[in-house]
């Protein structure tokens, strides 16, 4: 099994490659991982094309939901997008927060940052900023954001608990997040858990849904809500690269599942006031 650093480098290399591919190539595989299926269709992501703010050059077909749809965005807010890629969710978020708002995208793949900045320049957006950095240690001050969004990214991070704690840090008191991600119900076969390519493809890096929600609760968030959930069916010709016939049959009959969920949670309001007491 690879170390956390090795997994991060694997993801960085794969997403640098994806940044230079067209959308159709990315969408024919699991999160653009290159584990190409002969059933050429988008396994996870949803259709953004009719949303205000949609920019075709920023859509690489890599998501597993539409978190901005559920994020209760409003004019003037500051929004942070984790794993911002070519900027798709950032530009959708900007359509909600308007010119008086601010959108900050964070990504640790320089090729994605470069692509996103070009897209923002072409669109003439001066309030959408892209920062190179690791979402386990965000290049953002504490209590900065009204809202955090992310789309199919935390499953790629080895230490998800660190990221959730960072989300809590950068949110303003009373702020909230809406994150789409991949989770599991039941145990993933060992062959898939150990498959590096499937890790970059969003599947073997996923954790149990209950554990995921527990991390959010332990970080101090309240009003945790699963806003949307859908099953993800990985085509058999992808699974067959890692599972023999018996293992594949067992995987399909044991009720194990891979799901996309969109989760909402709030950071509690500050208890103390400057010069005053605490509740």
pLDDT digits (tens, 9 = 90+) for 207-241: 889 999 999 999 999 999 999 998 877 777 777 87
Cα–Cα dist 91/81, whole Å: 10
pLDDT at 35: 45
User: What whole-number distance in Å separates Cα of residue 175 and Cα of residue 191?
Assistant: 40
pLDDT in tens, 151-168: 989 988 888 999 999 999
Say what the pLDDT of residue 46 is: 74
Domains of the chain listed by start with CATH number:
4-266 (3.40.50.150)
The whole-model pTM stands at: 0.84
Nearest to 19 by CA among 67, 80, 62: 62
Q: Which residues pair with 183 in a beta bridge?
A: 207, 259
Cβ atoms 60, 23 nearer than 8 A: yes
Which one is predicted more confidently, 276 or 166?
Answer: 166
If pLDDT is split at 50, 70 and 90, which confidence band does 255 have? low
Which residue would you say has higher pLDDT here, 145 or 34? Answer: 145
Q: What does the pLDDT read at residue 32?
A: 47
Q: Where are the beta strands (DSSP E) in the chain?
A: 78-82, 102-107, 128-132, 145-151, 171-185, 207-208, 222-231, 257-266
pLDDT of residue 162: 95
pLDDT for 93 beyond 60: yes
Q: What is the mean pLDDT of residues 241-261?
A: 79
Is residue 188 over pLDDT 80?
A: no
């Amino acid at each position: 099994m690879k170390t956390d650093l090795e997994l991060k480098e694997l993801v960085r290399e794969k997403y640098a490659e994806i940044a230079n591919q067209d959308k159709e190539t990315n969408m024919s595989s699991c999160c653009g991982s290159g584990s190409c299926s002969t059933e050429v269709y988008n396994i996870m992501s949803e259709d953004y094309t009719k949303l205000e703010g949609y920019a075709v050059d920023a859509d690489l077909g890599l998501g597993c939901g539409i978190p901005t749809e559920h994020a209760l965005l409003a004019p003037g807010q500051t929004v942070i997008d984790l794993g911002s890629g070519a900027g798709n969710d950032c530009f959708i978020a900007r359509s909600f927060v308007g010119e008086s708002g601010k959108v900050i995208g964070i990504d640790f793949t320089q090729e994605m940052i470069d692509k996103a900045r070009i897209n923002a320049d072409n669109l003439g957006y001066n309030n959408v900023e892209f920062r190179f950095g690791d979402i386990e240690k965000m290049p953002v001050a504490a209590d900065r954001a009204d809202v955090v969004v992310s789309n199919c990214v935390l499953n790629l991070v080895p230490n998800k608990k660190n990221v959730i704690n960072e989300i809590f840090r950068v949110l303003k008191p009373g702020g909230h997040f809406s994150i789409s991600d991949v989770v599991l119900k039941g145990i993933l076969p060992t062959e898939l858990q150990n498959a590096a390519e499937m890790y970059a493809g969003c599947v073997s890096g996923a954790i149990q849904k209950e554990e995921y929600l527990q991390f959010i609760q332990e970080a101090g968030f309240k009003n945790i809500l699963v806003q949307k959930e859908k099953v993800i069916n990985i085509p058999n010709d992808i699974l067959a690269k890692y599972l023999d016939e018996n293992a594949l049959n067992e995987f399909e009959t044991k009720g194990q599942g891979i799901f996309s969920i969109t989760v909402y949670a709030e950071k509690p309001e500050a208890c103390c006031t400057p010069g005053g007491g605490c509740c």
